[in-house]
Structure 1
Amino acid sequence: MVKRIAALVVAVVALILLFSSLFIVKEGEYKVVLRFSEAVRIHTEPGMKFKVPFIESVTSLPKYQIIYDDNKPTEILTKDKKPIKVDNYTVWRITQPQQFLRTLKTISSAEARIGDNVYSTVRRKLSEIEYGDIISENTARGDLNVEITREVAETAERQNYGIQIVDVRIKRTDLPEENKDSVYERMISDRQSIAAGYLSEGDEESRKITASADRQARELMAKAESEAKKIVAEGEQEAARIYNEAYGKDTNFYQLYRTLESYVTTIQDETVIMLPIDSPYTRMLLGRE
């Protein structure tokens, strides 16, 4: 009977030892085995694992990416001294669980340290940019997010926390209610000034183009008139040559033609002409020529 009880006790103790030495690693987590609060092993693959009972303990850390967003907008001054409220979030992950436990220990302390680094970097970056550029330039906002992410990631790597900063994004930038009207009026005034400058430059360019076109038109007209006069002169010269050639073939006909032309020029309306009986006109009229 005693032996049976002893065997039962041994079996129970063995089961207790067995169950206390087993643990399960789930998908998406690190299992860190601690011995006297010091990490000795890290399990990353899912499955059943073993530890030394009563001497070793196990703690879990997330392997997946974590989004840190404290939802507490902070007030920052821009380059043109405009107070704005900035709200941002950070995506990060644990890459070295052992180092993470040695330096930061918990998720909450890690996010507190990340929040300090992000705030410091965002405040410095926005102090180098004017408010109008922050709210109106999407590309500038994109570049700003990239620069902030890079600097915060470099800081985390330099401090050797065992974490990786994946992304830092500014969600919104708002003006305090008491400053919105004055800033908006200033922005409208600035945009109107820029628009007036563009219009002035456009008018100046328009005048230059118009003057150039007018000058080219005058040059083309002068050239065309010169060409026209040259063509007319050449035509008149050719006509005179043809006339001379034609008239030279029949002198009497030419003389008759010239006489008739003189009649057209001389006798108009009710003109009265007295001619001597022996004048060429008289002989022509009397048919003596």
Structure 2
Amino acid sequence: MFRALRAAYAASTTRPETALGLTDRLAAAAAVVGSLEALVSARADHRDGTVLRGDLMSRRIPVDAKLLSALVKASSGRRTEQLLETVRLAASVTLLVARPGRTTRSAALALLAVSSAVTHRHHTVQSDGSEQLLFQVQAASALASLAGGGPRVTDACLWYIAAQSTLAYTVAGYSKLAGAEWRSGEALPGVLRTETYGDRKAFELVRTHPRTARTAGAAVVLGECGFGLLYFLGRGRYAPVFVSAGTLFHLVNARAMGLGRFLFAFVATYPAILYTARRISARSGDVC
């Protein structure tokens, strides 16, 4: 894992287009996972017109947003949603395994960004932070590609992606800090015993070792609250340490809580974080 991160660091801190290209591929991997999960879930659930379907969720759209309302209605229905996910899967695979030209790349990125916005309207209740962050990455990448991929616009989009990721960690951390269960150390065992995010072995571990559970919970809160410090400690020199810890954190969550999409979505922002941290180091004359 750390060898791969070192390679990613070396690749993503040279030129902005290199960093954004790596971001695109990692985001495409996240989109592949999301589309496969959606398609498998659709095959297992043969019901249509549930509370999460677009025909009901469209009622949440403002009356004057006629274009958005029409788009959501046109893409509603189980078969249409399956077709949309299949197209998203094809676009993601194209970005992941091929080296498409600028036109194809721009079209694939734009398709992913627009379709992510549409599917979010279909499944607002089910949507989570990984999907929202992934949309920010896809939209920024699409904008950079559609604008011609120049160094300035690519640099700006990378800063935007890095800022969104840092904000996501920080907000998550302070939200946990506001909760009494996280401050008392009871949150982690509580989450791990649920049916949705729980794991029997992990729950038994934290129940048997409550002090370790409290320490782990405190580390999560402190790590998320202080994630933005990577730009200030050593003027960005320790960014690889932060993203290594973040990768390990998401790997553990993927195993214990089934949050695999968070792993791919957040790691997709790491090239942007490493690139921007490198820029700060370069400006201070302290390039690592």
Length-normalised TM-score, structure 1: 0.24
Higher RCO (C-alpha 8 Å, min separation 6): 2
The structure with the greater share of residues assigned to helix is 2
The structure with the greater share of residues assigned to strand is 1
Length-normalised TM-score, structure 2: 0.24
